[in-house]
Amino acid sequence: ASFAIPGPKRKPGELVQRLGVQNQGLSVSRWRIYDHHEVSKDSHILTVGIDSDSAKKLRTSFGLKPHLFFGRVSVRIKDQAATGK
C-alpha cells in the first residue's frame, strides 16, 4: 500500500503508529515499511506491506482515505492477486 502524505516528511514508524491510533481496526503491528521518500517539500510517499484485514478495512471503512493527524491521506492498494504474491 502506498500512502500519499501531505506536509513535512516525518519518521515512517511515527506515521504508521499514528495511522493505527487514528483509524480503529488497522493492524499496523503487522505492517512492514518498505519505502519512504519525498515527492516535494510538501508531500511524501510511504510504502508499506499490509495485511489483508487492514486492506479490507481501508477500502470498506475508510474509502481509501484514512485519517492522519488533522486530515486524511490517500492510499493505493495493489491487490495480491494482481501481483501474484
Q: What is the pLDDT of residues 20-43, one digit of tens each?
A: 999 999 999 999 999 999 999 899
Give mean pLDDT, residues 6-11: 92
Return d(Cα 8, Cα 17) in angstroms, integer.
17
Sheet holding 43-49, edge to edge: 32-40, 43-49, 2-6, 74-76
Entry pTM: 0.86
